[in-house]
Amino acid sequence: MTNQLNESYLPTLLQMRLLVGFLGERSQFAWWPTAFYEPSSRLFLEPVFARTSRLAQYHGVLEAARRLHDEHLSVGSYHLFRLPEEVEQDLHALVQSSAGEDLASQVPSSKEAALDSLKRLAGAQAPAGVGPTAVGNINDLDSADAWTAIAGAYLSAFSQNAKAYPYLLS
């Protein structure tokens, strides 16, 4: 994968992480017990992380989601919240950039709006199963089909009030 190729799908990947991260929090579908995207969390985070509160929100949810997925998938599996190191570094750089700030500031404040945004990312993707679900190969990381399948798996799970752990084979 070239950096140019990486850059083209990173904003979509970041948007999907933000949406699924928000939807997985305790006030929405409670997949993980965090509340980083609740309005009250800013009151707690801003005094400690004055200039980086959005980054702290992102990393808090990222770690909670990563742990849950890792508990249900084989060691070494790649998923939305655990990707190859160079991609993780690119995402970290993106989330700190002005483009990442823009994406982070657009995280919907309601479950319905977040589901609508996830539905747009999933497109006409057929619903996937629940639990661990292989949706492609890590070599297809830059493929729109892979990310559409991942978005579809999460959308299907949230719609059924079930949990899904879509992953990419290495």
- pTM for the model stands at 0.88
Confidence label for 126 from pLDDT (cuts 50, 70 and 90): low
Average pLDDT in the chain: 85
- Residue ranges with strand state E in the chain: 78-79, 131-137, 164-169
pLDDT in tens, 22-76: 999 999 999 999 887 777 666 665 655 556 667 777 888 999 999 999 999 988 8
- Residue 76: left if φ>0, alpha if ψ -120 to 50, beta else—which one? left
Q: Alpha-carbon Rg of the chain, whole angstroms? A: 15
Average pLDDT of the residues in 3-29 = 84
Confidence label for 2 from pLDDT (cuts 50, 70 and 90): very low
- Cα angle, residue 87 at apex, residues 135 and 108 outer, rounded to 5°: 75
